Amino acid sequence: MSLAEKAKHVYAMEVVPDAVKMAEMNAAANNIDNITFEVGAAEEVMPKWAAEGVKADVLVVDPPRKGLEPAFIEAALEIAPERIVYVSCNPATMARDLQLFHEGGYSVGSIQPVDLFPQTLHVECVALMSRVEK
């Protein structure tokens, strides 16, 4: 929701229908009307949006531990945002996915660990990638 304050339009997807309903209610309660919500698996929704010609300046992803599906990454590369923010709870799948984005023309500018779960072994990492001019 906070991204909607700075963006012309936000596209948001979530596989859990109840989570989307709650997000829609939250947006309405806060008079936010520049978000398109869609229920579905990211690897299905993102290719659909790419085929519809959706473009984005910034893409924010927070995948499950298994990382991003190849279909999602391919569609993200087609949408070609200037920047990608990748939030991950699994360094191995994050490294794999960042390599695929690198092969698709993105470079990692920074990676920051974030300790959201103090006193545990779990740490989130946030990477900022930028599209490299070819």
Angle at 87 between CA 15 and CA 8, to 5 degrees: 75
Residues 79 and 124 in one domain: yes
Q: Is 89 among the catalytic positions? A: yes
Which residues are 28's β-sheet partners? none
Report how far residue 92's alpha carbon sits from residue 107's, in angstroms, rounded to the nearest whole number.
18
104: in domain: yes
Q: Which two tokens stand for residue 4?
A: 């909607």
Residue 119 belongs to a domain with what CATH number?
3.40.50.150
47: in domain: no
State percent of the chain over pLDDT 90.
96
Q: Which two tokens stand for residue 87?
A: 């939030």
What is the per-residue pLDDT for 88?
97
What is the per-residue pLDDT for 25?
97
Q: Which two tokens stand for residue 8?
A: 């012309």
Span 53-75, average pLDDT:
95
What is the per-residue pLDDT for 1?
85
pLDDT category at 133 given cuts 50, 70, 90 is: confident
Of 20, 58, 80, 89, which is the active-site residue? 89
What is the three-class DSSP state of 80? coil
Residues 60 and 115 in one domain: yes
pLDDT category at 58 given cuts 50, 70, 90 is: very high
Q: What is the domain range of residue 21? A: 1-40
E strand or H helix at 74, and its extent?
helix 70-79
What is the per-residue pLDDT for 134?
59
How many domains in the chain? 2
93: in domain: yes
How are beta strands 106-114 and 58-61 bridged, if at all? Answer: unpaired
Within a 10 A sphere around the Cβ of 35, how many other Cβ atoms?
Answer: 17
